[in-house]
Amino acid sequence: MGDQKSRVNVHSVLTQVSSRPSASDETYPLTRLDHAMGHHTIHVIFYYEKSPFGSFDMDPIRVTLSEVLSSYPPVTGRLTRDDAGNWAVKCNDAGVRVLRARVGITLDEWLRSADGNEERDLTVWEDMPEVPNTWSPFRIQLNDFEGGGVAIGLSCTHMHGDLTSLILLFKAFSEAHHGQAITFPPFFKPPAPPDRKFSVNNSKSTSYLEAKLQKQTPSVKMSTATFKFSDSVVKQCLSEIHDKCPDASPFDLLAALFWIRVVHLKGPKHDDHTHSLSLCVDFRRLLQEPLPYGYFGNALNFSLLSLNEEEMDCSMLGRVAELVHCHVSGLKEEEFWATLHWLDLQKEEGGKYAPPFAMYGPEFTCVSMEHMIIGDQPVMYSMNFDSAKPVHVSCHVGNAEGEGLILVMPSAEAGLARTVMVTLPEEETAKLCEDQSILHLKPTMLLRSI
Amino acid sequence: MPQTLPDFSNSVKLKYVKLGYQYLVNHILYLLLVPIMVAILIEVLRLGPDEILNLWKSLHFDLVQILCSSFLIIFIATVYFMSKPRHVYLVDYACYKPPVTCRVPFATFMEHSRLILKNNPKSVEFQMRILERSGLGEETCLPPAIHYIPPTPTMEAARGEAELVIFSAMDSLLQKTGLKPKDIDILIVNCSLFSPTPSLSAMVINKYKLRSNIKSFNLSGMGCSAGLISIDLARDLLQVHPNSNAVVVSTEIITPNYYQGNERAMLLPNCLFRMGGAAILLSNRRRNRSRAKYRLVHVVRTHKGADDKAYRCVFEEEDKEGKVGISLSKDLMAIAGEALKSNITTIGPLVLPASEQLLFLMTLIGRKIFNPKWKPYIPDFKQAFEHFCIHAGGRAVIDELQKNLQLSAEHVEASRMTLHRFGNTSSSSLWYEMSYIEEKGRMKKGDRVWQIAFGSGFKCNSAVWKCNKTIKTTTDNPWSDCIDRYPVHIPEIVKL
């Protein structure tokens, strides 16, 4: 099948500014971890049945957006290099780029018929130019569907923040629109390491990072599929593995399930006999001095879980889930600080940070968004416009090459329901969509190629 | 030390001499009247009551004579009162405050400039230099169509901007004054660069359902001084129509006139012109006399169009690529200075106190007859006016006028701060400046205000207002959320 013309038609580009001028000439430096994530971009898409943007040009909702942007000066600023040659954000109020697009079909039809690659057209995928002083790192794309639906796509470089930051920015916008207080106000002070020394050598994370630095992966055409698992199914599954893993969370279960199936799909490995899963966990609340959720920046950690081939072959779901659970709950803040310390050691002369490398990949990577469920409510589905929750939320990570990426996110249905977005090389995704163990859980499939 | 003391004491002496002279000349009539009255009193006292009674009896009063004299007096009084021009009062006015989404920070402006003019870095540099020295702040606003990359100046967008600005200002005016739309007898709308069919005044009549016998006028093409031309027209109409209300709407619609080429002389207006508008209610009704804010005293219009250079100095034309823009010539300031001198020569005798006029006359005679090298005397207008509203056409205009009229920083503060907060909003900038002075609590009863506007043609128009009642500060005006931050210091060059 040849390249079909995209059904998303971008018709205008404009700049949205903040409502109040920020203090002039403030420069917001980016942290070591921010720099390390520089290879990637993040994209979040919120689907709503009814667009809250009415006439657009003079709609009061744009005034609230300007007001919210005033609280996030680094979002409306521009990237610049500081004296040491590192990236910093000059808070000059230049604004965010807003693109408006029209899609020729209704929202429901889109969720049924579009595939993961086409979904990418709903946000902006732009490489940072050499000289980014007139380039807007944050971009919002408003896609209007026939019949009134809308997909609001936010994208930015991974240097500015992680998926959590972007989602909470949007949440602040929805709260401001209804005149409510902002639940997770923005916080810009990066975490400072405590006084203890950290040994770099025998840390799990740092040795893993060393390995990442060396590997090169050939780029393969990837495709994405979305699986929605309902609350009742997950509950039932958890009760099935209760004897092996009593404290399993839905993330442990689904990560284990998908890992096992993907390994099975990929077939036997030739060079070495271990199977590795890279786990990406948010560290905001795991630090001893917890960072507020509203911390705008990168606060995640990548760690490796390995199993050898024999264990994987005859393992049951429960056992693997147990291993994942132990690994995730065993993560301590020392890992986080050790990573930062290692990144510091990679600095070039003059204090410039090393160029970024792929942090997502090359192994099969699994991203946990369990921290986005606070109380019983999924934060990702709490941004209401006119009392309507989003119909669906998708997240994408740009330049995540390697064996594949899986994101386990909350669903619109509260409780234990989860939405899993899997990105694999094309043939593998197609096979995964027909995998019996997964289909046994009766997932709702969205946004996959038919 | 001994050297400076005589100079100082000399200047003090000079100051007192000047004050004495001014007091003498300005109150000459009273000063002459006092000795005459004293003389009469002495004469009366000398004569004694009997003599006066005899004097009275000797005047033979005939009934006819008495009647004729009284009719004459009544006739003269009637003619006098009938031929006195009707007083025109400014009841209230409202200025438009654009929404924050229309704000244009410097960084956004320069970024759009770089993205749109990417093949002309020299033009981008030029715009940056202009913006740095312009005196504008980070909160000036451009209409929504200009925020697009590239701008989308369609007719629909221009109408949208016109509706937004004019209707908001009108709504605000109607609310402030309690005026009912059916009570509007005269409507004048001035917008220089956007003139659709049907006109903007027809648009207002349609929206507010004004009366069918309304006298409506739409002035276009008259530049930044059109606001005062509209006020002059309203005043003339209010002389002819008794008991009437006139609404004047002054605005400039930026959307269709954003220059998209790269000719430098034409890029200048892009950097300075911003969104704004004002609606003013004038009336000659007696019942508005007590609640009106100002009374219109004089309007003086000067047109230098007969001179070719003045005519061409602000000229709308096509550039080499066929894109239309407004070209500003290099001798704009010199021509403005000439126009101002002309205007001052006419307005001076109307407003200056006798002392200044006498000095000016003496210096003029002296220069003509005795010695042409005498410095021309610049009358001190600070004695005639408490407040000055100079059209915020640009920093250079304000600087030039401050120098020519020898005004202090406080006198031009309203103009500079309006330029900083709202940019050059063309004909409505004078009203933002008035609003600034009122919000600072400086406008007291009896204060005289001088509004000066320059416009293409080349025109220099002035209006003189007298404050009718001390004006209290309010919250429903465009300065309400930022007046406490003003005045700000505006640096010579803002680092971009």
Q: What angle do CA A391, A394, A395 make, to 5 degrees?
A: 155
Structure letter (DSSP) for residue B223: G
Question: According to the model, what pLDDT value does residue B9 have?
Answer: 58
Nearest CA to B189 out of B156, B150, B229, B160 is that of B229
Distance CA A38, CA A159 (A): 5
- Residues of chain B contacting A, Cβ within 8 Å: 99-101, 103-108, 110-112, 114-115, 137-139, 144-145, 147-149, 152, 160, 164, 495
B37 occurs within a structural domain: no
| Contact pairs from chain A to chain B, CB under 8 Å | 67
The whole-model pTM stands at 0.90
Question: According to the model, what pLDDT value does residue A315 have?
Answer: 60
Domain residue limits at B106 = 88-469
Distance from CA of A338 to the nearest CA of B (A): 39
Q: What is the pLDDT of residues B466-492, one digit of tens each?
A: 999 999 999 889 999 999 999 999 999
Cβ-based contacts of A94 with chain B (< 8 Å): 105, 107-108, 111
What residues contact A52, with CB distance under 8 A and at least 6 apart?
A61, A150, A177, A385, A386
Name residue B97's amino acid. Answer: K
Q: How far is CA B20 from the centre of its chain?
A: 32
What domains lie within chain A, and their CATH numbers?
8-178 (3.30.559.10), 204-446 (3.30.559.10)
Distance CA B186, CA B216 (A): 6
The percentage of chain B sitting over the pLDDT mark of 70, rounded to a whole number, equals 98
Question: According to the model, what pLDDT value does residue B5 have?
Answer: 47
Q: Is the pLDDT of residue B1 over 50?
A: no
Q: What is the pLDDT of residues B88-138, one digit of tens each?
A: 999 999 999 999 999 999 999 999 999 998 889 999 999 999 999 999 999
Nearest CA to A301 out of A245, A348, A355, A343 is that of A343
Q: What is the pLDDT of residues B157-168, one digit of tens each?
A: 999 999 999 999
Hey, CA dihedral for B104, B108, B110, B112, is it positive or negative?
negative
CB atoms within 10 A of CB B334: 14
Number of domains into which chain B is organized: 1
Q: What is the DSSP code string of A320-349?
A: HHHHHHHHHHT--HHHHHHHHHHHHHT--G
B495 occurs within a structural domain: no
Q: For strand A364-368 and strand A405-410, is the pairing parallel, antiparallel, or unpaired?
A: parallel
Token digits for A226? 């979305």
Distance from CA of A103 to the nearest CA of B (A): 20
Nearest CA to A100 out of B111, B144, B148 is that of B148
Question: Is there a contact between A19 and B147 if contact means CB atoms under 8 Å apart?
Answer: no
Tens of pLDDT along chain A (450 residues) come to 334 567 899 999 999 999 998 876 688 899 988 998 988 999 999 999 999 988 888 888 999 999 999 999 999 999 999 888 889 999 999 999 999 999 999 999 998 888 888 888 999 998 899 889 889 999 999 999 999 999 999 999 999 999 999 999 999 999 999 989 999 999 988 888 777 665 555 566 677 777 777 776 677 888 888 999 999 999 988 888 888 888 888 899 999 889 888 888 887 766 667 788 888 999 888 888 888 889 999 998 888 888 877 666 656 788 888 888 888 888 888 888 888 888 888 888 777 888 888 888 788 899 999 888 887 778 888 888 888 889 999 999 988 878 889 999 998 888 889 999 999 888 888 888 888 888 888 888 887 654
B373 occurs within a structural domain: yes
Q: What is the mean pLDDT of residues B397-412?
A: 92
By three-state DSSP, how is residue B337 classified?
helix
Please report the beta strands in A189-325, taking only residues with DSSP state E, as ranges in sequence order. 222-229, 274-282, 300-308
Cβ-based contacts of A63 with chain B (< 8 Å): 99-101
Residue B410 and residue B343 in contact, taking contact as beta carbons nearer than 8 Å: no
Q: What is the pLDDT of residues B410-425, one digit of tens each?
A: 999 999 999 999 999 9
Question: Is there a contact between B107 and A92 if contact means CB atoms under 8 Å apart?
Answer: yes
Q: Is the pLDDT of residue B342 over 70?
A: yes
Q: How far is CA B209 from the centre of its chain?
A: 30
Mean pLDDT of chain B: 91
Dihedral pair phi/psi, residue A63, rounded to 5°:
-65, -40
Q: How far is CA A344 from the centre of its chain?
A: 24
Nearest CA to A34 out of A83, A86, A95 is that of A86
Residue B272 and residue B424 in contact, taking contact as beta carbons nearer than 8 Å: yes
Question: Is there a contact between A14 and B149 if contact means CB atoms under 8 Å apart?
Answer: yes
Predicted complex ipTM exceeds 0.85: yes
- Residues of chain A contacting B, Cβ within 8 Å: 12-21, 25, 57-58, 62-63, 65-67, 78, 92-95, 134
B34 occurs within a structural domain: no
